[in-house]
Structure 1
């Protein structure tokens, strides 16, 4: 890519990453970046006609995926960027055992489906292939499309008075009739 084409591609990717990250509430280091933070934290590189998604640990290459397709690069970046927020979501709700894994996978499917339903299908298919047909957790693979997110209901009781701390913080949950 000539320098101006590489600069335009980077600007396009930065814009898309900001838009997609905001759509699912990613913040800070969860947002895909062009900065090498080392520590095996993935980052994006644009140049020489190639888009790269890679990670370094103490300067040694952990992995590198290359493409000329910006959508492929965005899939890789957001496939990985949704892992920790999904884990945090399941941890906050104190799921345990298989329920924790199912909730984490379901949340990740929801986040990816919000960005692009094809990304959620692809991630699920890749996970199913990785697990294989006989894996003990295969039955926990999330259904697609995932259930929609709805705000949880406010708890019963009187509203908080002036100057008092709110008794309840609004969170997003899956529909009560849906799996975790």
Structure 2
């Protein structure tokens, strides 16, 4: 008979293997790789609870500032890699400006490319969520279409 502790350990092993696999697809290393280590400064991390809950959290100065909860490992991975690709794209855009293009649009294009490389459905979902979150409807036309063109750049 398996216990909830055994099940949470198996879930954590599965998540660690998927994180390693997905990170390798993008060449993510170091702090760009989603993990289970709690840090301050609102750096996101994951928790696998014995109850079966999977949490995506961020703590700032000892205070919980972000929390998402699910029981679906795929959902947790989506949250983690949406966040990781945002961080990577945000850094990348600083050294790869595109003349005549807003920085956020360049970042969106790069993030779309990264997410699409991991899972086209994730990229579609991310795009829909991005559009939904834009207050100015005129900005919707700035959101990249999918699938993105083949990348002419790599994470750095």
Q: 1:25 maps to what in 2?
A: 27
Q: Deviations over 1:18-62 (max 9, x none)?
A: 110111121111111100011100000001211111111121110
Structure 1's unaligned 5+ residue stretches are 151-170, 174-180
Distance 1:97 1:28 in 2: 33
1:136: Cα distance to partner?
4.2
Distance 1:44 1:172 in 2: 26
> Aligned residues, how many?
152
The TM-score normalised by the length of structure 2 is: 0.90
Q: Deviations over 1:57-113 (max 9, x none)?
A: 121110111111000000000001101211222221133674322211000000000
Indicate which of 69, 89, 102 corresponds to 1:86.
89
Query: Which structure 2 residues correspond to residues 111-122 of structure 1 after superposition, within 5 A?
Result: 111-122=114-125
Preserved CA contact (<8 Å) 1:101 1:140: no
Question: Which protein has the bigger helix share?
Answer: 2
Q: 1:109 maps to what in 2?
A: 112
Query: Which structure 2 residues correspond to residues 58-137 of structure 1 after superposition, within 5 A?
Result: 58-95=61-98, 98-132=101-135, 134-137=136-139
SS at match of 1:5: helix
SS at match of 2:16: helix
The TM-score normalised by the length of structure 1 is: 0.78
Bigger Cα Rg: 1
Hey, which bits of structure 1, 4+ residues long, moved more than 4 A? none
